[in-house]
């Protein structure tokens, strides 16, 4: 069974966070671990409900350990996010996945990445809450 990550997604970054160099304004290893953990959770959750999606995640990011090709890593994350969207439903207000043409992401795109996952989890939870269980509904009552 999919286990929901303890750390909540962040969707309220503002330009002032970037200008003031706050933790919300800078993307680092903990942010990458959070979003990849959430992607893994949503992938497992979708698979449990029969919406099959496959991709690889990395949840052991560390600050200053190695220098992976960040362009390919960010693009992998964006591609994984698109796979999540394609595997299930999204709301009309759900943002688009940021383009893989850019080498980095800005604070709006960071918000959008996490907002997409918030929306997908919301819709999955609503679907699960609406299931009718055996013997709970009777015709002709």
Give 106-133 pLDDT, tens digit per residue: 899 999 999 999 999 999 999 998 887 7
- Among left, alpha and beta (phi > 0; psi -120 to 50; other), residue 81 is alpha
Q: Is 75 in a helix, a strand, or coil?
A: helix
| CA atoms within a 13 Å half-sphere pointing along the CA-CB vector of 38 | 24
- DSSP code at position 95: P
- Dihedrals phi, psi of 130, to nearest 5 degrees: -95, 0
Give 23-61 pLDDT, tens digit per residue: 888 888 889 999 999 999 999 999 999 999 999 999 898
């Amino acid at each position: 069974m999919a286990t929901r990550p303890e750390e909540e997604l962040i969707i309220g970054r503002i330009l002032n966070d970037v200008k003031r160099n706050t933790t919300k304004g800078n993307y680092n290893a903990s942010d990458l671990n959070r979003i990849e953990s959430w992607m893994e959770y949503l992938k497992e959750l979708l698979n449990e409900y029969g919406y099959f999606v496959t991709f690889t995640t990395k949840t052991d990011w560390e600050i200053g350990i190695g220098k992976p090709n960040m362009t390919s890593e960010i693009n992998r994350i964006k591609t994984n996010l698109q796979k999540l969207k394609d595997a299930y439903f999204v709301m009309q207000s759900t943002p688009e996945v940021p383009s893989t043409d850019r080498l980095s992401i800005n604070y709006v795109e960071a918000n959008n990445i996490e907002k997409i996952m918030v929306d997908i989890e919301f819709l999955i939870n609503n679907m699960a809450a609406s299931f009718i269980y055996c013997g709970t509904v009777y015709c002709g009552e």
